[in-house]
Amino acid sequence: MRCNSNSFNGATDASRVYQLIVTCLSTILMFLIAPNPMNAQKTNAPIRFDKQTQVFRIDAADVSYVFGINEKKQVQTLYWGKRLNDADPFPAPKSDPGLSGFDTSVNTTRQEFVAWGSGLYIEPDLKVSFPDGNRDLVLQYDSHTIEGRRLKIVLKDISRDVYVDLEYQIDVVTGVLTRSANVENRTSAPLTVEQISSGTWNLPRGDDYRLRYLTGRWAGEWVLHHQLVQPGKTILESRRGSTGDQNNPWFAIDHEGDGDQDHGDVWFGALGWSGSWQISIEQDQIQQIRVAGGPNSFDFGYRLSPGEQLKSPDFYAGYSHDGIGGASRLLHRFEISSILPHGPKPKLRPVLYNSWEATEFKVDEAGQESLAEKAASIGVERFVVDDGWFGQRSSDRAGLGDWYVNPVKFPHGLKPLIDKVHSLGMDFGLWVEPEMVNPDSDLYRKHPDWALNFIGRPRTEGRNQLMLNLARPDVRAYVFQALDKLLNENDIAFLKWDYNRNWSEPGWPAVAPEDQKKVYIEYVRNLYSILAELRAKHPQVEIESCSGGGSRVDLGIMRYTDQVWPSDNTDAFDRLLMQDGFSYAYAPGVMMAWVTDSPTWVNQRNLSLEYRFLSSMQGSLGIGANLNNWKPEDFTTAKSMVAQYKHIREIVQRGSLYRLISPQNGSEQSVTESVSEDQRSAVTFAFLHSSQMLYPFPRIYLRGLKTDSMYRIAALNGKLSPGTPDIASGAFWMQHGVDVELRGDFQAASFRLDVADR
């Protein structure tokens, strides 16, 4: 504020004084009543609309998302990034004039949702065809409603009664936005939706962006990649009928060369859909970056009769000013509070034992009871019987679809085993694979038409099994009833829901040819509805999403499941890399990690039991080893590690993850730190591949602690270097750092820090 008398040149002294007083008073008054851009003013309403400028603002956490209605009634993006001052001006939006006759205005104006029509060449959010041959759709703003954290914008075609509701919901804690689009056919004839996305995320213009994404395959999931965003399009996708692991529906974009784990701008997002999907990342002709995502448009077609609607999946996205580490911490927090069942405080994951690697299909009452006793002796809380307990299942060649208890393996049903497990103080879990059928099964012999198929064409098997067409109402009913009966008749606390192949011949001969491609949507809807109905009817049951490993992990399935199985590869060293990749998109608390045998079946690598435990303790701990082969000292070690894990699991499962040393790019070391929500405790895991030439393990600089709080350090496993103080400030641990004594091959250590209450 300046009351500068020099501005009154030429006036008399008295009038000068008078003017000066008036100027100063009015400046003070303006300062008091007008929003001052220098003050970071924050509003309580996260979503606002300015009638004058026709601008919407969504402000929450550290994010502002701004868009408005331009003179062509297009909904135009104006800003997405670090939170701005509430008083910052956004004039009424104006559409871009276009670059030339080749790239007209519709291609260069950054729209929130654009349909294919009027000469659009960029990726459309919606493409339809009408029965009269018309395929042109031009959407304009019609109306909107704001209710607290939700905004709905209605768009309508310029001439036909096709309506699209754009839905926005803001999470005020993380600033993560949820978007979806709902198309409604209010014309008098059917139309076909050939492509639909949840909306376009427009990033600030730029040519220095780097895209991070996840790829993988069976036993090799969660590989982190990055590449420069180039002119043109990158498509991340699955055409497999389910999420798949070749790409996972997650992305993060930052500026190349700028930023690290904890600094720099990052825009990130994840699609909540467990069917075929696509995310397109496009840099257009004028270096604008657009990200759009939804069901895969390949082989897609959804016929909407008059009055019918089609809603896209939810697409979640956020922004972090605190680097890629900050981005994943926001996403983890959002998943814990807003996605997982029982959020905002989902139940902590119990330590489980799973028999698969020990017994494979050779399960029976006596063998499982014996394993259960051993598991209970080390503190396991949940005992899970994997594949092989049902139908005529003695290998992967038969039995899928026949969900009755195998009378030879369990002559008295599952009850004696379940009672035994309960008497040992554990709850009971069971493996199922409800969406599949072996041709060698009673179900397939009775209902061959229930499998996905094209009439008269071969049916391609994967792992000797076919896909049931869950889109069919009778198949949905059968699957629900089979599982409901299982849960009614047995005291089951947990289902491991497996899915061991992808689609082939996705025909649905029972419906009209023009409706057959609906299978891509109806299948997934029925999957979700079965999960939801089972959960409602059996609220005590928890569910794991498994797909031959991590092939169905996404924010869609996570709404109905409590945890996921990231990979069949349980080699504790390989897992460091996979767990690191996984953590970019998903919270460590949902990631099951078993301690299995050494040498591992995957790489024939020998790893100490401590190493294997510490690797698994970075997620939700499970044991999958053959306990029949353990020595007494293994049980002693395991008992102590399980007890340790129970003390730290809340920090690991619900805390904030910091990647201190990345295992990526062949790094010899890997270090992670989890900090509790209240920042009073932290636990660190450090792994060494091989030491060389007498070099010590790098010093570990902690993060996320309170600078002025005093923390006590305690080694959980391995040794801290001599001279490490018992107690020091958060600043000390973060700036001075901690040395651990790690030498040799495949070594591991962990320590924790807790506020030392005086």
| 618 touching ligand DGJ, by CB under 6 A | no
Structure-token pair, residue 211: 């895209």
Alpha-carbon span 212 to 226, nearest angstrom: 4
Q: Which is nearer to ligand DGJ, 486 or 688 (CB)?
A: 486
Closest distance between ligand DGJ and the C-beta of residue 431, in Å? 5
Coil, helix or strand at residue 334: helix
Please say if 498 is a catalytic residue. yes
Q: Which is nearer to ligand DGJ, 229 or 385 (CB)?
A: 385
Closest distance between ligand DGJ and the C-beta of residue 498, in Å? 5
CA dist 189 → 125, 184, 186, 308, 310 (Å): 22, 12, 8, 11, 15
β-strands 209-215, 250-255: how paired?
A: antiparallel
| 167 touching ligand DGJ, by CB under 6 A | no
Please say if 245 is a catalytic residue. no
Closest distance between ligand DGJ and the C-beta of residue 570, in Å? 9
Selected from 113, 353, 565, 733, the binder of ligand DGJ by CB under 6 A is 565
Closest distance between ligand DGJ and the C-beta of residue 356, in Å? 5
| 548 touching ligand DGJ, by CB under 6 A | yes
Q: Which is nearer to ligand DGJ, 96 or 498 (CB)?
A: 498
Query: Could you tell me if 570 and 602 are in contact, meaning their C-beta atoms sit under 8 angstroms apart?
Result: yes
Alpha-carbon span 150 to 227, nearest angstrom: 34
Buried b (16+ CB within 10 A) or exposed e, 74-105: bbbbbbbbebbbbeeebeebebbebeeeebbb
Q: Which is nearer to ligand DGJ, 268 or 494 (CB)?
A: 494
Q: Which is nearer to ligand DGJ, 90 or 565 (CB)?
A: 565
β-strands 382-385, 427-432: how paired?
A: parallel
Name the segment binding ligand DGJ (CB under 6 A); options: 541-549, 646-654, 701-709, 719-727.
541-549
Q: Which is nearer to ligand DGJ, 401 or 548 (CB)?
A: 548
Selected from 241, 549, 556, 566, the binder of ligand DGJ by CB under 6 A is 549
Query: Could you tell me if 431 and 547 are in contact, meaning their C-beta atoms sit under 8 angstroms apart?
Result: no
Selected from 221, 245, 335, 386, the binder of ligand DGJ by CB under 6 A is 386
Alpha-carbon span 418 to 424, nearest angstrom: 10
Q: Site size for ligand DGJ, by CB under 6 A?
A: 11
Closest distance between ligand DGJ and the C-beta of residue 218, in Å? 9
The sign one gets for the Cα dihedral 348, 352, 356, 357 is positive
Closest distance between ligand DGJ and the C-beta of residue 694, in Å? 41
Question: Which residues ranging from 460 to 519 are in contact with ligand DGJ (CB under 6 A)?
Answer: 498, 500
Q: Which is nearer to ligand DGJ, 265 or 568 (CB)?
A: 568
Q: Which is nearer to ligand DGJ, 569 or 684 (CB)?
A: 569
Closest distance between ligand DGJ and the C-beta of residue 584, in Å? 21
Alpha-carbon span 107 to 118, nearest angstrom: 10
Closest distance between ligand DGJ and the C-beta of residue 601, in Å? 12
Closest distance between ligand DGJ and the C-beta of residue 275, in Å? 20
Name the segment binding ligand DGJ (CB under 6 A); options: 334-342, 544-552, 658-666, 670-678.
544-552
Q: Which is nearer to ligand DGJ, 475 or 564 (CB)?
A: 564
Instruction: Specify the DSSP element, H or E, that contains 31.
Output: helix 13-33
Which residue is catalytic, options 59, 165, 387, 498? Answer: 498
Query: Could you tell me if 358 and 628 are in contact, meaning their C-beta atoms sit under 8 angstroms apart?
Result: yes
Structure-token pair, residue 137: 């759709």
Alpha-carbon span 113 to 167, nearest angstrom: 11
CA quadruple 93, 97, 102, 108: dihedral, nearest 10: -20
Nearest Cα residue to 290 out of 204, 227, 215: 204
Q: Which is nearer to ligand DGJ, 196 or 527 (CB)?
A: 527
Nearest Cα residue to 574 out of 698, 663, 700: 663
Selected from 568, 574, 580, 673, the binder of ligand DGJ by CB under 6 A is 568
CA 354 and chain centroid, separation? 24
Residue nearest to ligand DGJ (CB): 387
Q: Which is nearer to ligand DGJ, 252 or 375 (CB)?
A: 375
Selected from 431, 520, 560, 751, the binder of ligand DGJ by CB under 6 A is 431
β-strands 745-755, 681-690: how paired?
A: antiparallel
Peptide bond into 696 cis (omega under 30): no
| 582 touching ligand DGJ, by CB under 6 A | no
β-strands 314-320, 177-185: how paired?
A: antiparallel
Alpha-carbon span 338 to 685, nearest angstrom: 28
Name the segment binding ligand DGJ (CB under 6 A); options: 69-77, 232-240, 543-551, 730-738.
543-551
Structure-token pair, residue 93: 């939006």
Residue carrying structure tokens 């299978």: 519
Query: Could you tell me if 224 and 250 are in contact, meaning their C-beta atoms sit under 8 angstroms apart?
Result: no
Selected from 78, 153, 336, 546, the binder of ligand DGJ by CB under 6 A is 546
Name the segment binding ligand DGJ (CB under 6 A); options: 417-425, 545-553, 597-605, 698-706.
545-553
Contacts of 730 by beta carbon, 8 Å cutoff, 6+ apart: 702, 705, 706, 707, 708, 709, 710, 711
Name the segment binding ligand DGJ (CB under 6 A); options: 36-44, 186-194, 542-550, 729-737.
542-550
Q: Which is nearer to ligand DGJ, 259 or 401 (CB)?
A: 401
Q: Where are the beta strands (DSSP E) in 229-284?
A: 232-238, 250-255, 266-272, 277-283
Closest distance between ligand DGJ and the C-beta of residue 123, in Å? 34
Which residue is catalytic, options 165, 568, 574, 754? Answer: 568
Selected from 387, 542, 571, 580, the binder of ligand DGJ by CB under 6 A is 387
Closest distance between ligand DGJ and the C-beta of residue 126, in Å? 37
DSSP code for 466: E
Angle 506-511-514 (CA atoms, 0-180°, nearest 5)? Answer: 80
| 356 touching ligand DGJ, by CB under 6 A | yes
Q: Which is nearer to ligand DGJ, 363 or 740 (CB)?
A: 363
Coil, helix or strand at residue 214: strand
Nearest Cα residue to 66 out of 170, 148, 154, 141: 170
Query: Could you tell me if 305 and 315 are in contact, meaning their C-beta atoms sit under 8 angstroms apart?
Result: no
Nearest Cα residue to 224 out of 258, 196, 194, 251: 251
Residue carrying structure tokens 């790098």: 698
Closest distance between ligand DGJ and the C-beta of residue 220, in Å? 13
Alpha-carbon span 359 to 361, nearest angstrom: 6
**Residue numbers of the site for ligand DGJ (CB under 6 A)?**
356, 386-387, 431, 498, 500, 546, 548-549, 565, 568
- Which residues belong to the active site? 498, 568
